[in-house]
Amino acid sequence: MLLPNKMPLSKEQLLSFVCNIIDQSNSCIAIIDQQDSNLPILYYNESFSELTGYINNELIGKNLRSLRGIKTDPEIESEIDLNIKSQLPVEINIIHYHKDGSPFWNYLYSLPIKDETNEVQFTLICCKNITDQMLDKMLSKLEREVYAELDKGGDTEVILQLIAQKIEMYYIRSVYCAIRVLDSTGELKVVATGSLPSTLIESINAYIIEPTAGFNEKAVYIDNVSHKQIELNNNIYNDISSLEVISCWTKPIVNQHHHILGSITIYLKDQASLKQSDLEFLNKLSPIITLSLKYAEQKQELERLAFYDMNTGIPNQNYFYTNLTEWIEGDFTGIILIIQPGEYSGIVDLYGRKTGDELLIQIANRLKNHQKVECNEDIIYGRFSNSSIITAKKIYDDKIDLYVSRLRQELTTSPYVLADREMFISLNIGIAHFGNGVLMEESIRQADIALTSSRKKFGTVITFFEEETNKLMQQEMDTLNQLIHGLKNNEFSAFLQPKVNLKTAEIEGFEALARWHSPVLGSVSPATFIPIAEYSGKIREIDNAILKQVLKWQQARKEKGLKLVPVSVNISPVHFYHDTFVDDFISLVHQYHISPEYIKVEVTENFELVDFEKAKNILMRLKEYGYESSIDDFGVGFSSLSYLQQLPFSEIKIDQSFISNMNNDEMFAVVQTIIQLASRLKMHAVAEGIETVDQYNLLKNIGCNTGQGYYFHKPMPINEAEKLLNNIK
């Protein structure tokens, strides 16, 4: 509206002139008397009346402060007054109230009107309801703030809290705000409130919303509940009287599938009921909350992925490391245990990976049970590798033994149910301390070392880490390094030890034994390098290198037309169970054109349940091809004769520990029984490690067919065995 700011009229003439003009304007305009220090309204047009709800002359003689309400900023009011009085232009946003008490954002600017003497007589106040724009502005500001928090990876509850606070602070109406989230039990739980404590909100809610009131995708709107407010005042909180909650409005927050995620409730303090603009505001607000909740869901899912093993649902290494690190940083001390089922790979071979996973799940469940029994949170666990679980417990040293024995009981006394059958599982467990200066990586390394040494024994074995073991491991690593070189440089040679017929003293055959002379380590005993080769997967190469040397020698003798005698080669169980063992073995012997009767297989194995059928299958195939097999070190560990009966072995080698203790009556009886049993099972009995003439005579007398030992011959290089055989001829 363009008005000349200097007009040649008296004050009265001027007023009537301006009134005339603003009556024709669509803008909302009031005329203020500049000369009166109260700045009273002299006139306002129809549009102004519509905007404020004050009709006719209701505001005449009053000033702009008549439009004030609870949320009107007094500082802005003073600024407006001051500017008008100082004849300065005003342009400002302020919350004003309609006559019905409902607020609106008023964009207000002033226009001073001067008279003929150039004195300002009136000020025109032009107003515009900009509530929608202001709310949109506030929403986009809030949205930006929420995005920024989400981007920072902020906690969802903190973000929701931020939303609730901002709404209370900036919303045009005087409100309390609460955000609820559906919890796992299907209840809406208050997670964020603005200025009120959540307990208070819960209680208001119990009174304001009927107990029967449910919620759905549509809003729940309960208006005018002031009668209930009285009950609150009297019964629940004294300070509730100051809350003056008149009505509340709940907007359910739903996801794209229309599933409820939570709700936002606005508790209104003023009398005026909700307007369309309020509803629109809350409708626009809900996507921001949905986003935050969806983000929370995604965050949870990400956490699940980051902290749990996908295949088993068991916490993973990351979970374990994160928690253990916190413990160690918090100066806690305790132990970590790496638990590995001895039968894991057998079970995976037989029943598949899923069953292997199932075994780990059941172990984890037992750990969880144990955690409950122990009634504390001081135990964490996670999947450590494909075949092992790691667990840690905060514990004082004097309690460790008891704890470990109870854990062992929990884990091993009852069978596991796998592939529809009950199985007793043996566990290898390595234990080490953490804390007290031992950091996590070191502690895990030590438990690993302890686990490795526990694997060297049969059955459930729990091994505590010791410095000694550490040194041993170091040595083993060095040996392994040299062993790898040694294999490349042909440092391994076959020695032969004669097997002697105890009745005739004739050489029936030989056993080939691996010897290793390393230029770095010197002579290394098979007792040292065989286990290392087994763990590192190098044993097949060693077995085959020895077998080749034997075959080469036999081939040479054959070509020379000399007599061949059977040679037994040792095959490690690791090699024996290898998928291609039988095929590789047979093709190698064929390459040298040696008849199967001259090569025997010696295998040392505790035929456990899981391997039994596989072992039988391998031995049967060897037998079909004409190869005989012997069971080595019989009597050590688990060697059930009833199993033996079902396996097609042709020879039993009685371990030298029995032979060397035969002067003990009991041991003598055992040896005698084994020999009798072998003969009943039509098996050849071979006594290992005969060192004395007494042992020789005893064994001969109780019907042992064959013997081997230093009493007859020590293992010797092939060329010496060659000479020995030739001399006999």
Interaction between residue 632 and ligand C2E (CB under 6 A): yes
Transcribe 155-205 into DSSP letters.
-HHHHHHHHHHHHHHHSSS-EEEEEEEE-TTS-EEEEEESSS-HHHHHHHH
Among 94-102, 167-175, 389-397, 566-574, which window interacts with ligand C2E (CB under 6 A)?
566-574
Interaction between residue 688 and ligand C2E (CB under 6 A): yes
200/569 with CB nearer ligand C2E: 569
The Cα 686–Cα 499 span in angstroms is 8
Q: Which does 573 bind (CB under 5 to 8 A by kind): ligand C2E, Mg ion, none?
A: none
Nearest distance from C-beta of residue 528 to ligand C2E, angstroms: 9
The Cα 673–Cα 75 span in angstroms is 109
Q: Quick one: which of 709, 718, 721, 725 contacts ligand C2E (CB under 6 A)?
A: 709
**Chain residues 416-455 in contact with ligand C2E, contact rule CB under 6 A:** none
Q: Quick one: which of 689, 698, 704, 706 contacts ligand C2E (CB under 6 A)?
A: 689
Among 73-81, 401-409, 411-419, 686-694, which window interacts with ligand C2E (CB under 6 A)?
686-694
Transcribe 239-289 into DSSP letters.
GGGGT---EEEEEEEE-TT--EEEEEEEEE-SSSPP-HHHHHHHHHHHHHH
Site string for ligand C2E, 597-626 (x = CB under 6 A): -----x-x----------------------
113/619 with CB nearer ligand C2E: 619
Q: Which does 542 bind (CB under 5 to 8 A by kind): ligand C2E, Mg ion, none?
A: ligand C2E
Per-residue tokens: 579: 């998928």
Beta-carbon contacts of residue 664 (< 8 Å; ≥ 6 apart):
none
Q: Which does 596 bind (CB under 5 to 8 A by kind): ligand C2E, Mg ion, none?
A: none
452/549 with CB nearer Mg ion: 549
Q: Quick one: which of 125, 407, 514, 599 contacts ligand C2E (CB under 6 A)?
A: 514
Q: How far apart are the first and last CA of the chain?
A: 135
- Contact present, 106 and 94 (Cβ < 8 Å): yes
Q: Which does 674 bind (CB under 5 to 8 A by kind): ligand C2E, Mg ion, none?
A: none
Q: Which amino acid is at 427?
A: L
80/542 with CB nearer ligand C2E: 542
The Cα 253–Cα 263 span in angstroms is 5
389/550 with CB nearer Mg ion: 550
Helix 317-329 / helix 440-454 crossing angle, nearest 10 deg? 120
Taking residue 633's Cβ as centre, other Cβ atoms within 10 Å add up to: 20
112/509 with CB nearer Mg ion: 509
Cα torsion angle, 304, 307, 313, 314, sign: negative
What is the contact surface with Mg ion in residues (CB under 5 A)? 570, 602, 632-633, 688
Alpha-carbon radius of gyration of the chain: 46
356/707 with CB nearer Mg ion: 707
The Cα 83–Cα 110 span in angstroms is 9
Helix (H) and strand (E) counts for the chain?
Answer: 24, 27
The Cα 638–Cα 619 span in angstroms is 19
Q: Quick one: which of 530, 565, 567, 601 contacts ligand C2E (CB under 6 A)?
A: 530
Interaction between residue 693 and ligand C2E (CB under 6 A): no
Q: Which does 709 bind (CB under 5 to 8 A by kind): ligand C2E, Mg ion, none?
A: ligand C2E
168/655 with CB nearer Mg ion: 655
Transcribe 46-81 into DSSP letters.
HHHHHHH---TTTTTT--GGGG--TT--HHHHHHHH
Interaction between residue 497 and ligand C2E (CB under 6 A): yes
Nearest distance from C-beta of residue 699 to ligand C2E, angstroms: 12
Interaction between residue 706 and ligand C2E (CB under 6 A): no
Nearest distance from C-beta of residue 571 to Mg ion, angstroms: 9
31, β-bridge pairs: 43, 124
Nearest distance from C-beta of residue 595 to ligand C2E, angstroms: 21
Alpha helix ranges (H) inside 421-495: 440-454, 467-488
The Cα 163–Cα 157 span in angstroms is 10
Q: Which does 179 bind (CB under 5 to 8 A by kind): Mg ion, ligand C2E, none?
A: none
Residue located via tokens 């001969």: 700
Nearest distance from C-beta of residue 656 to Mg ion, angstroms: 7
Q: Quick one: which of 546, 550, 582, 622 contacts ligand C2E (CB under 6 A)?
A: 546
Interaction between residue 513 and ligand C2E (CB under 6 A): yes
Nearest distance from C-beta of residue 634 to Mg ion, angstroms: 8
Report the interface residues with ligand C2E, using CB under 6 A. Answer: 497, 513-514, 525-527, 530, 539, 542-543, 546, 570-572, 602, 604, 632-633, 656, 688-691, 708-710, 715
